[in-house]
Amino acid sequence: MMKKILLSVLLCLPFMVNAKEAESVIADPVLHERVMSVSAELRCLVCQGQSLADSHSEFAVDMRQQIHDMMADGMTNREVVDFMVQRYGDTVRYRPPFNAVTVLLWFGPFILLAAGVGVLYFNIARRRKQVVETPLSDGDRRQAEALLKDDAEDNK
């Protein structure tokens, strides 16, 4: 009996692997294209690294449905984006505009990179100043040569 159950599960496994995600059913392909175009411009606030078009979170699905409803009511793409920005702020845009509020978003990585390079440069310069080369004494030199000679003989 157990073998039959296991065999049944194993036979069903290939069908489960090939299962595809359900696609959105929108009757109007032009409207669907507009929804996906606007969704590509907006960031999923749950996933942060994905656009609404790419995300599969519940939030993204709800947002795409809202966008669809607004467009079905006659709003233009720009009006939908402006509504979302008014509601969620500039962070909802996948490519936020350049203004006083978002200046750190645009230049922050470069500022951090420059600061990191500066800190690295000054650390290296400081360490070079601290290093004092002292020449080997005759006794130390002879000891080192003896060690190297012994090592060379051991390797033969």
The pTM of the full predicted model, rounded to 2 decimals, is: 0.53
- Which pLDDT tens digit goes with each residue over 80-119? 999 999 998 888 888 877 877 778 877 889 999 999 999 9
Q: Could you confirm whether domain 25-92 is CATH 1.10.8.640?
A: yes
SS (H, E, C) the chain: CHHHHHHHHHHHHHHHHCCCCCCCCCCCHHHHHHHHHHHHHEECCCCCCCECCCCCCHHHHHHHHHHHHHHHCCCCHHHHHHHHHHHHCHHHECCCCCCCCCHHHHHHHHHHHHHHHHHHHHHHHHHHHHCCCCCCCHHHHHHHHHHHHHHHHHHC
The whole-number pLDDT of residue 3 equals 72
The whole-number pLDDT of residue 25 equals 53
